[in-house]
Amino acid sequence: MTKNGNINDSYAAKVRMKSIGVMIFLIALTIICLLPIYILFVNSTRSSQNIINEGISFLPNGHFFKNIKETIRLDEIGTINYSAAVGYRNSAIITIGASFLTVFFSAMTAYGLVVYDFKAKTPAYTAILLVMMVPVQVTSVGFVQFMNQIGLTDTYWPLILPAAAAPPIVFYMRQYMKSSFPLDIVEAARIDGTGEFRTFLTIGLPMMKPALGVQAIFSFISNWNNFYTPSMILISREEKQLTMPMMVSSILSNDKLSDLGVRYIAIFLSILPVIIIYCILSRTIVDGVAEGGVKE
């Protein structure tokens, strides 16, 4: 009896030691994850003098709004090519437009693949899967050349329209529909005399709301963060057209800017919207990743 008691105790003790060790490791990892962003925030609340004189600091200061005002001032006199307001507006236009097209047309394509039976169904689906493999750089050279030839560079059309063809999203929606969309409803709607497209809009889409929601969020984040395609298309770097990542890039390569507080706040403002969205919707996002292996 005593022997068994000892073995149980030592096993329990071992498990507890391991748990404690793991917790310490996880806390350290948490700090590493959050520290860069925290320092970014802290430094964006300090004045440039403060950053230079006092080196690193972990406590926020009071210069947040002064730094923002400084970016506006420097932008007006032309020292920097950065404006949070313009950047937000531009990024929002592209992001919202692209996300809407992606979610709507992916749902429509998935609906077509699941609800209907037609000869080209399997080849079409395979084709969609294959498209997923092609890296964006491979098509981008030909893409920008083509846009140049038809005069669409320096506009937002090439940044929004292609979003309607998004293979991973179609894949995700199709999986979702196959497991939770009852095809009888379509039959019932036909008996009632509803047209096919109207069935899709009034019955199909509402039933897919969770999938639509998750994909809308991922699409938003992915489009907001997209730096490559706008850099390729918006060739004349006109300030009134720049997206947020491009504005951050212009701050980086700016030699005339010596105000460190302004640099930090420029970076901070660029990620603020995504961070806010993440704070509100983190559980949905993390669950969505587990479900679908979503590409960023």
Instruction: Rule CB under 8 A: choose which of 36, 78, 151, 193 binds another protein.
Output: 36
Question: Which residues within the stretch 258-287 sit at the binding site for another protein (CB under 8 A)?
Answer: 260, 263-264, 267, 270-271, 274-275, 278, 282-283, 285-286
| Residue 38 CB, nearest approach to another protein (Å) | 11
| Residue 240 CB, nearest approach to another protein (Å) | 19
Query: Does 178 contact another protein by CB under 8 A?
Result: no
Instruction: Rule CB under 8 A: choose which of 13, 15, 17, 24 binds another protein.
Output: 15
| Residue 148 CB, nearest approach to another protein (Å) | 10
| Cβ count near 225 (within 10 Å) | 17
| Residue 109 CB, nearest approach to another protein (Å) | 4
92 Cβ contact list (under 8 Å, min separation 6): none
Spatial distance between the Cα atoms of 236 and 242, rounded to a whole number of angstroms: 10
Instruction: Rule CB under 8 A: choose which of 121, 183, 188, 198 binds another protein.
Output: 121
Which residue's structure tokens are 């923002």?
Answer: 68
Spatial distance between the Cα atoms of 106 and 109, rounded to a whole number of angstroms: 5
| Cβ count near 195 (within 10 Å) | 10
Query: Does 40 contact another protein by CB under 8 A?
Result: yes
Instruction: Rule CB under 8 A: choose which of 93, 96, 131, 185 binds another protein.
Output: 131
Tokens of 240: 């009134």
Query: Does 146 contact another protein by CB under 8 A?
Result: yes
Spatial distance between the Cα atoms of 146 and 292, rounded to a whole number of angstroms: 33
Query: Does 7 contact another protein by CB under 8 A?
Result: no
Question: Which residues within the stretch 221-260 sit at the binding site for another protein (CB under 8 A)?
Answer: 221, 224-225, 227-228, 231-232, 235, 244-246, 248-249, 251-253, 255, 260
Q: Nearest to residue 283, comparing CAs of 210, 178, 175?
A: 210
| Residue 48 CB, nearest approach to another protein (Å) | 9
Instruction: Rule CB under 8 A: choose which of 123, 135, 151, 193 binds another protein.
Output: 135
Exposed/middle/buried for residue 99 (C-beta within 10 Å: 0-12, 13-18, 19+)? buried
Which residue type sits at 218?
Answer: F
| Residue 129 CB, nearest approach to another protein (Å) | 9
Spatial distance between the Cα atoms of 216 and 233, rounded to a whole number of angstroms: 24
Chain-centre distance of CA 234, in angstroms? 20
Fill in the per-residue mask, 69 to 108: x = in contact with another protein (CB under 8 A), - = not in contact. Answer: ------------------------------------xx-x
139 Cβ contact list (under 8 Å, min separation 6): none
| Residue 29 CB, nearest approach to another protein (Å) | 7
Question: 277 near 222, Cβ under 8 Å?
Answer: no
Which residue type sits at 39?
Answer: I
